[in-house]
Amino acid sequence: MTTINKEEIQKFSKLANEWWDVDGKFKPLHMFNPIRIEYILDKISKHFQISRNRKNLLQNIEILDIGCGGGLISEPMAQLGGKVTGIDAAEKNIKVASLHSKKSDLKINYLNKSPEQLNSKKKFDVILNLEIVEHVNNLDLYLKSCSHLLKKNGLMFTATINRTLMSYVKAIIGAEYILRWLPIGTHDWNKFIKPEELEKQLFDKNFRTEDLKGLEFNPILKKWKKSDDLSVNYIICSIKN
């Protein structure tokens, strides 16, 4: 069994050289990054009782970034002192991420693997699943693998897109066809997952929900913000029991 979707790997491999182009195909993720990072740091600091004023906020925190792409989240986590492992099933993504981290003088352990291929004897404090679960095959195996890789009382962040009429209008018609923020075909609406479905699957894998928030784009300010609106983008912070 595998979580790797070969079509998805091919799709993102074609775009691999654009990961760090802030005006390229991944511009939406660059715009998305500040609110995602702020949310993650807030939850980590509270959960592990770390002062937000500490210089190396994530010092000694072992982080696994699954579906790391070119390293857009791995690098900020490493810059804050985190011990980061970034994995991706697309070899081209890992090559781009490794090269960029060397240029940035950051030590990040990048591996061309999917979560079920990792040795589960190695456990992490934090797992990041950011905009990845809608692209995998066999979500059940994926979340089981995450559970095996996370320490007891560890944190997992899962950010994805709700399966609603609004998400079809905004995330597919709007983002792909009208605004051309994303290449057409980036998302399959049928693979989007409702928060209650994801929470149920996480509960079955020994996780409890610590927080659930919507993430909403303000087109006037061109910024993302936290929201109680879960109809399109949302993030679940869960704790391993």
Checking if the pLDDT of 99 tops 90, the result is yes
State the pLDDT at residue 186: 84
Q: By residue range, what is the domain housing residue 39?
A: 6-240
Indicate whether 54 pLDDT > 90. no
Query: Could you tell me the CATH number of the domain that includes residue 57?
Result: 3.40.50.150
Assigned domain for 156 exists: yes
Domain count, the chain: 1
Q: What is the pLDDT of residues 64-79, one digit of tens each?
A: 999 999 999 999 999 9
Q: Is the per-residue pLDDT at 140 higher than 80?
A: yes
Cα gap 40→45, rounded to integer Å: 9
Considering the domain boundaries, does residue 1 fall inside one? no
More confident residue, 46 or 8: 46
Question: Alpha helices, DSSP H only, in 108-176?
Answer: 139-149, 165-167
Task: Work out the pLDDT band at 45, boundaries 50, 70, 90.
Answer: very high
Could you say which DSSP state residue 128 is in? E
240 within 8 A of 156, measured Cβ to Cβ: yes
Task: Determine which of 22-31, 127-136, 144-153 has the lowest per-residue pLDDT on average.
Answer: 22-31
Using DSSP, state whether 3 is helix, strand or coil.
Answer: coil
| pLDDT of 220 | 85
Closest by CA to 95, choosing from 12, 151, 35, is 12
**Residue holding tokens 């579906």?**
67
Q: Averaged over 135-160, what is the pLDDT? A: 97
Structure tokens at 227: 């929201």
Give the closest residue to 139 by CA, choosing from 225, 201, 219, 215. Answer: 201
Residue 64 covered by a domain: yes
**Range of weakest confidence among 79-93, 120-134, 215-229:** 215-229
pLDDT of residue 181: 75
Quote the CA–CA distance of 91 and 82 in Å, as a whole number.
23
Tell whether 142 is covered by a domain: yes
